[in-house]
Amino acid sequence: MIESPIPLESLRRSSGTFVDAVGLPPSVYSDADFHAFEMEAVFGSEWLCVGRQEQIPDAGDYLSVMRVGEPLLVVRTSNGSIHVMSAVCQHRGMCVTANTNRTDDDMLDPPDLESGSTRTFRCPYHFWVYDLEGQLLGAPEMAKTTGFEMADVQLPALAVELWQGFIFANFDVDATPLAPRLAKLDDALTNYDVESLVTVDPLTIPDVPFNWKIMVENFMEMYHNSRLHHGIHDFAPSSGAWYADYEPGDAAMFGFNETLEPDGGFNPTFKALFPPLSGTTMEERQRVVFALVAPSLLMGFQSDSAFWFYVDPTGPTTHALSMAYIFPASTIELPDFAETLEAAIEGVSNFNRQDMPTNVATQAGMQSRYAPRGRYGWQEAVLPQFNSWLVERYEAASDKT
């Protein structure tokens, strides 16, 4: 049974459109009870991105990731499908790992730092061994235990869905499918051929000191582009922003920001550093697209590349943030790719150097006794859309009680 610690009536004032919505109650950004409610109401039953399919191309390839405190294994099985399961050993709860030689030091590494290829997973504690789909295959010295059948023991599986090359998992195995609710975003991204893009290895910052929603809001709204980022964002002024409509049932929110010239870029040259994506139109090359597959996959598309962020709440006022670029394979094969990528990353860090302290300060402000439930401008129309999506989940979870 879960119940929102903040009355639904109060939360509903943040739904709707920028014309009449107000900001979410400030305690949604810091209250421990609300955080526990939200983890269940939103993250317990929604689709969470756990990686890209090209990260695990062959049978036995796996990623271990942490999502809302749950250690998970994302595995390419022998039949080529992708399986996502808990890494928690069903004996006494240690985390299983690839059945390779690990040193004692490795065992203390956070489980989300692993990837590789294996035939089985083994628990380092008492050597129970599981296959690629989590079926228990071996358990030493258990024969004398009454009624113990290996066939009865599996690593718990999550629901899995693939969309545009992204792998999504859901703790609710009966969840409503995701892809049909992303049709509008599919239309907007047709020419980007997102499924064929190839990710570089994500970089994860484990302890980002503000609530996950502050990160989502900062990524998605374009109101601040011409203000906080004035000078470095002038090639794409906020006046050129617009957002797609959001209707209840949609799983994504997205918007566009026109650039003054085609092939703009988030770096000191204001120009794209890589060749333009081959299928895109001139119109598409003169704008950026920002999208949220709620709750936590953020994507940005520009004329030469895309990037994806994953926001994983780790507490009421903290989250882990993973970031990676994705490119056409032909771009990654370019001889000067590594150096150009470094320049691109350095360019984006100029924006992060402004966004990150702003988000930290916003977290503090939202914990102030004077924290606002402020009004929204049209250039941040996506924020009440995101609120609407959240409130739908808060309400649905409360209805179940």
Nearer to Fe ion, 50 or 288 (CB): 288
In angstroms, the CA 280 to CA 191 distance is 5
Least distance CB 365 / ligand FES (angstroms)? 45
In angstroms, the CA 14 to CA 20 distance is 8
Q: Interface with ligand FES includes 94 (CB under 6 A)?
A: yes
Q: Interface with Fe ion includes 355 (CB under 5 A)?
A: yes
In angstroms, the CA 149 to CA 79 distance is 25
Binder of ligand FES out of 42, 50, 89, 208 (CB under 6 A): 89
In angstroms, the CA 123 to CA 102 distance is 11
Q: Interface with ligand FES includes 75 (CB under 6 A)?
A: no
Compute CA distances 311 → 22, 216, 228, 287, 308, whole Å.
Answer: 24, 8, 22, 24, 10
Nearer to ligand FES, 87 or 326 (CB): 87
In angstroms, the CA 53 to CA 63 distance is 10
Q: Which stretch binds ligand FES (CB under 6 A): 9-17, 92-100, 204-212, 289-297?
A: 92-100
Binder of ligand FES out of 2, 125, 242, 355 (CB under 6 A): 125
Tell me the two tokens of residue 20: 């009449």
Tell me the two tokens of residue 240: 């050129």
Contact status, residue 261 vs residue 230, Cβ threshold 8 Å: no
Q: Which stretch binds Fe ion (CB under 5 A): 43-51, 121-129, 339-347, 349-357?
A: 349-357
Q: Interface with ligand FES includes 92 (CB under 6 A)?
A: yes
Compute CA distances 110 → 86, 197, 354, whole Å.
Answer: 15, 28, 29
In angstroms, the CA 279 to CA 285 distance is 10
Listed in sequence order, the residues at least 6 apart from 138 whose beta carbon sits closer than 8 Å to its beta carbon are: 127, 128, 129, 150
Q: Which stretch binds ligand FES (CB under 6 A): 31-39, 85-93, 172-180, 239-247?
A: 85-93
In angstroms, the CA 205 to CA 324 distance is 12
Least distance CB 71 / ligand FES (angstroms)? 13
Least distance CB 91 / ligand FES (angstroms)? 3
Nearer to Fe ion, 170 or 359 (CB): 359
Nearer to ligand FES, 21 or 139 (CB): 139
* Amino acid identity for residue 74 in this structure: V
208 binding partner (options ligand FES, Fe ion, none; Cβ < 5 to 8 Å by kind): none
Token pair 């756990």 is found at 50
Binder of ligand FES out of 12, 13, 91, 181 (CB under 6 A): 91
Binder of ligand FES out of 18, 62, 121, 128 (CB under 6 A): 128
Nearer to ligand FES, 128 or 310 (CB): 128
Q: Residue numbers of the site for ligand FES (CB under 6 A)? A: 89, 91-94, 123, 125-126, 128
